[in-house]
Structure 1
C-alpha cells in the first residue's frame, strides 16, 4: 500500500514541476535555446533531480524542450514560421473540439462559460493582460475537455503547448488583446448557443487572425 502511495506522490510531484516549467517557458521566463540545468531547476522548484528529469522528458515529448546528447536539456526554439504551421493544423482540430463541445454542452457548463466570458472582457478592460492570457488558456482547456474527443484533445494539448508562447506575446499587446477578446467571445457565444457550425467557424476566424498577427510581427 505504501509503495502505491509513494508512486502516486512521485507522479503528482512530477506533474506539478512539469506545469511550473511549462508555464515559465510560455511566459518567456526561460528563453529559446536556454539551457535547463537539472540542479538549478531542482532548487527552484524544491523537487528532486529525478522529478525534474521526468518533467523535462515530458516537456520534450510536448516539443517545448530539446534533449541534447550528453549535454542535458534546453528550451526548444520554435520559429514564427513553425508556430504558424502549428496554428494551421490547430484550425481543423480545435474547430472539431469546439463543434463537439457545442453539441454536448450542459447547462452547468454554459453557466461556467458565461462567467469566463465576463472575466475575459473585464481583464482586457482593466488592462490585466496576464490574467487575460491565463483565461485564454483556461478557455482552450475547457473546450478540449468538454469536447469528449480524447484523441483530438491529446493532439491539441501538444500543439497548443508549442505555439502558445508566441500567442502569449501577442496577447500581452493591448491592441491585439482588444481584437482577440472579441474573437474569443464569439467562440463562447457560438458554443453556448449550441451551434456546432458557428463554433467551428468562430475558431477558424480566430486562429486565422492569430496567424495574420504573427506574420505582421515577423
Structure 2
C-alpha cells in the first residue's frame, strides 16, 4: 500500500531540490500544471508541496497568481548567516560534549576525505563533504530544535552558499576552517568548537559583504 504522506514528502523534496539546483530562477512562476507533468504528481499534491515550501521561505504565494521562486538578496543572506551563527555554535558545542569514540572515528574519516578533496582540487566533492560535515554535526548535537531551524535557514541561503563555494580561492580559506571545527569536536573541546564555528561563519559573512559591494 502506498504511503501517501511519504509520497507527499518525496514530492516536496524533489521540488525543493530543483529550486536549490537553480532549475528554476528567482521570481520564476511555478505553474501547478507544469509541475504536475514534470514530477508526475497530481495538482493537489503539487499545491500542497508549494504551500510547504512557502512555509520554508523558498516559494512565495502571489494573490490570484499562483506561486513563484522567492528571491533572496545578499543582505538577507547575510542576516540568515548571522542567525545561523548562534545555532551552529550551539550544535558544535553539543557535538563536542556528546562525542562517542564511534562518532570520533567517523569524523576522523570524514576529515581525511575533506583533505583529499582539497588536495585533488575537487570543488564539487569538497562542497558535498562540507554539507555532510554540517549535517553530521547537527545530528551529533542531538539538539532537535536547533537542527530544524538550521535546515530551514540553510535551504533559504543555499543559492548563495553554492555561489560562494566557487569563488576563486574560497576553498583555501574555508578548508582549514572546517578542519579546525572537526579537530575541536574530536578534542571534545566545546569552547574551541564554538569559536571555530563562529570564525568560519564570520568568513562567510565577510565574503557575502564583498559580493554586495
Provide TM-score, normalisation by structure 2: 0.91
- 4+ long deviations beyond 6 Å: none
Would you say the 8 A contact 1:27–1:168 is kept in 2? Answer: no
Alignment match, 2:195: 201
Alignment match, 2:57: 63
Post-superposition CA distance 1:72-129 (Å, at most 9, x none):
1111111000110111111111100110011001222222222222222222333332
* CA distance 1:192–1:212, change in 2 (3 Å): same
* CA distance 1:18–1:119, change in 2 (3 Å): farther
- Aligned to 1:151, which of 145, 148, 159? 145
**2:40 is equivalent to residue 46 of structure 1:** yes
**2:30 is equivalent to residue 36 of structure 1:** yes
Name the CA distance, whole Å, in 2 between partners of 1:195 and 1:84: 28
Deviation at 1:174, TM superposition (A): 4.5
- Aligned to 2:186, which of 187, 192, 210? 192
Would you say the 8 A contact 1:10–1:51 is kept in 2? Answer: no
For structure 2, list consecutive stretches of 5 or more residues without a partner in the other structure.
none
* CA distance 1:206–1:165, change in 2 (3 Å): same
For structure 1, list consecutive stretches of 5 or more residues without a partner in the other structure.
none
Provide TM-score, normalisation by structure 1: 0.90
Name the CA distance, whole Å, in 1 between partners of 2:122 and 2:40: 29
**What value does the CA root-mean-square deviation take over the aligned residues?**
1.7
Equivalent pairs counted in the alignment come to 212
**2:97 is equivalent to residue 103 of structure 1:** yes
**2:180 is equivalent to residue 165 of structure 1:** no
Name the CA distance, whole Å, in 1 between partners of 2:44 and 2:120: 42
Would you say the 8 A contact 1:26–1:168 is kept in 2? Answer: no
- Aligned to 2:111, which of 117, 127, 135? 117
SS in 2 for 1:66: strand
Name the CA distance, whole Å, in 1 between partners of 2:168 and 2:45: 38
Deviation at 1:176, TM superposition (A): 0.7
Alignment match, 2:72: 78
Name the CA distance, whole Å, in 2 between partners of 1:88 and 1:148: 22
**2:174 is equivalent to residue 180 of structure 1:** yes
**2:209 is equivalent to residue 215 of structure 1:** yes
Name the CA distance, whole Å, in 1 between partners of 2:117 and 2:37: 33
* CA distance 1:66–1:119, change in 2 (3 Å): same
Deviation at 1:66, TM superposition (A): 0.7
